[in-house]
Structure 1
Amino acid sequence: MDIAADLSIMYVLYIIDKDCANGSIVWDRGVGCHFFHGIPAFQHSASSSGRERRQQPRNKAFSSSSSVAQVQRRIICGAAYVTDGDTITINKQQIRLFGIDAPELEHPYGKQAKWAMVKLCKGQTIQAEIIESDGHGRSVALCTLPDGRDLSAELVKQGLAIDWPKFSNGKYRHLEVAGVRRKLWLADARQRGRMDIWAKFEANRQGQSR
């Protein structure tokens, strides 16, 4: 039985490695595995984005306090199209980076955050472990580079995003550069529920554009 379990683990790691290179959906955490003549095999079904291995459907939990729905964890890999500092698209699936808050494109440092993310993702196969969905229908994922670096952490370390403890439990707070919350004051205001500051900024911006 120990040998069979080892073979199962080795097979899973091989599939993840192999399929990440092909940019397909590769694995659901907790997926059931059975043995066929001593060889581990997975129940799988075809999908438009590639092979997909799924576990049996489970009830989704929803947290009204965070407006985030819990979903089955799965991993997708592929090239990333960058929308802004904390939003990317892989295999036509929009993904919100886990645990951080980057400025909107029209906000101060918004474009810098986007292009920093473009530089990180360019030419790379990004692995996204989808852990939940947000109130805007986007998948929330822990995204990593092939060398294991966390995209959320990298942007925070560059001073172009801040930790969002409501969702991250403070995972990235220690990486924030000095003074970044004054620099990214609109993102900080959103976290503190001060949307009146956003409204004032938008009113001033629209007035200046006339």
Structure 2
Amino acid sequence: MKSFHLLLVTIALGLALPARSQGPMTGRATIIDGDTIEIRGERIRLHGVDAPESWQTCGDFDGGTYRCGKTAALALDQFLAASRPTRCEFVERDRYGRFVAVCFRADGREVNRWLVESGNAVDWTRYSDGRYAAVQATARSKRIGLWRGEFQLPCEARAEHAGREPTC
């Protein structure tokens, strides 16, 4: 009877723990949006960066608009496809339970840095402590990606879309 109770306790503890380990995760990444990927069924939010939402539009250099969120997601897909698999180093779990990580392509290039460097995301200093400030300044000075025109910060766009005050 003791072994049966021990088995039940072991199973209960196993169910209470997160399904994935908090160590690195490697695999073929599927793009969810410009700053979120999925590997082996685990949603991974890219740490310290904020990309436009898929529905978000931005101003272009010629005064027009374009779907910058969709553009960022497509650019991320192409970047990751060039060197697979993707390896993600765990940072934390966010309030939605997502795995938050700094990720790398098979060739060692950091995905989070590239997103900001290419202008497809901004340095989210609230979380990054300015880790990507220098590459963001370069993207801005080159007027690439989001910086080629006017845009609303993704965190502000999400708040407005939800009808609440931005906290970014």
Alignment match, 1:115: 74
Alignment match, 1:189: 156
- 1:124: how far off? 0.9
Q: TM-score, normalised by structure 1?
A: 0.54
Is 1:128 matched with 2:88?
yes
- 1:195: how far off? 2.9
Structure 1: gaps spanning 5 or more residues? 1-71, 201-210
Quick one: distance in 1 between partners of 2:155 and 2:25? Answer: 30
Quick one: distance in 2 between partners of 1:155 and 1:166? Answer: 17
Distance 1:184 1:134, change over 3 A: farther
Structure 2: gaps spanning 5 or more residues? 1-20, 58-67, 164-168
Alignment match, 2:120: 160
- 1:160: how far off? 1.0
Quick one: distance in 1 between partners of 2:106 and 2:24? Answer: 14
Alignment match, 1:82: 31
Quick one: distance in 1 between partners of 2:71 and 2:105? Answer: 20
AA paired with 1:114? A
- 1:73: how far off? 4.2
Quick one: distance in 2 between partners of 1:168 and 1:91? Answer: 26
**Given that residues 75 and 128 in structure 1 are in contact (C-alpha distance below 8 angstroms), is that contact kept between their aligned partners in structure 2?**
yes
Alignment match, 2:6: none
Alignment match, 2:43: 94
Quick one: distance in 2 between partners of 1:199 and 1:94? Answer: 22
* Greater C-alpha Rg: 1
Aligned pairs, number = 126
Distance 1:195 1:188, change over 3 A: closer
- 1:187: how far off? 1.4
AA paired with 1:185? Q
Quick one: distance in 2 between partners of 1:145 and 1:97? Answer: 13
- 1:186: how far off? 3.6
- 1:184: how far off? 3.5
**Which one has the bigger strand percentage?**
1
Counterpart of 1:74 in 2: which secondary structure? Answer: coil
AA paired with 2:28? A
Once the two structures are superposed, what CA deviation does each residue of 1:128-155 show, in whole Å capped at 9, x if it has no partner?
A: 1111011112110110011211101111
Dislocated runs of 4+, deviation >4 Å? 179-182
